[in-house]
């Protein structure tokens, strides 16, 4: 059983280059706010791939708008979080090595609702609180 870790705000701050994700303004740690890319009010998750560094002003103006490029951003941040070991793997019977191959096939990520979904060719991963808890589909991608 993989336990949920406390959200690492500093990771997001450093990942985003100590800058506001939207306007690029350099932020001191105390100036940074967290923004849910898929808004929380729309069911946006607390996964690392749905959270970005944001200055107060952009956070205020963004409100509950849903960015048009969210699919692309979620996918990029998902692969980044995986590489940085911020997304944990807890699917029974499949080890980290095999999970690497599975992860490389993921081409879309959705962060709305309690469970985020990552999908690729013949495969769906279910992610809750940054932990991959279930997988449906074809392990080897050959069927």
Q: Which residues bind Zn ion (CB under 5 A)?
A: 20, 22-23, 25, 55, 58
Q: How far is CA 26 from CA 15, 19, 20, 22, in A?
A: 13, 4, 7, 11
Q: Which is nearer to Zn ion, 25 or 139 (CB)?
A: 25
Instruction: Report residue 84 as tokens.
Output: 């940085």
- Shortest distance, position 55 Cβ to Zn ion, whole Å: 3
Phi then psi for residue 116, to 5 deg, are -85, 150
State the minimum distance, in angstroms, from the CB of residue 115 to Zn ion.
Answer: 30
> Which is nearer to Zn ion, 33 or 108 (by Cβ)?
33
In this complex, which beta carbon is closest to Zn ion, that of residue 25 or of residue 112?
25
3-state helix, strand, coil in the chain (%, to 5): 30, 25, 45
Minimum CB–partner distance for residue 4 and Zn ion (Å): 29
In the bound state with Zn ion, the residue whose beta carbon lies nearer, of 25 and 80, is: 25
**Phi, psi (deg, nearest 5) at residue 123:** -145, 140
Q: How far is the CB of 77 from Zn ion (least distance, A)?
A: 17
């Amino acid at each position: 059983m993989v336990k949920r870790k406390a959200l690492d705000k500093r990771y997001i701050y450093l990942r985003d280059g100590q800058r506001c994700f939207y306007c690029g303004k350099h932020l001191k740690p105390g100036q940074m706010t967290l923004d849910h890319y898929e808004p929380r009010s729309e069911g946006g998750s607390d996964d690392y791939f749905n959270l970005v560094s944001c200055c107060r002003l952009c956070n205020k103006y963004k409100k509950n708008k849903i960015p048009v490029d969210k699919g692309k951003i979620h996918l990029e941040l998902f692969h980044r979080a995986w590489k940085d070991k911020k997304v944990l793997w807890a699917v029974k019977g499949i080890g980290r090595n095999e999970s690497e191959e599975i992860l490389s096939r993921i081409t879309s990520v959705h962060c709305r609702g309690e469970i985020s979904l990552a999908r690729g060719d013949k495969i769906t991963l279910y992610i809750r609180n940054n932990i991959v808890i279930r997988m449906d589909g074809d392990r080897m991608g050959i069927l």
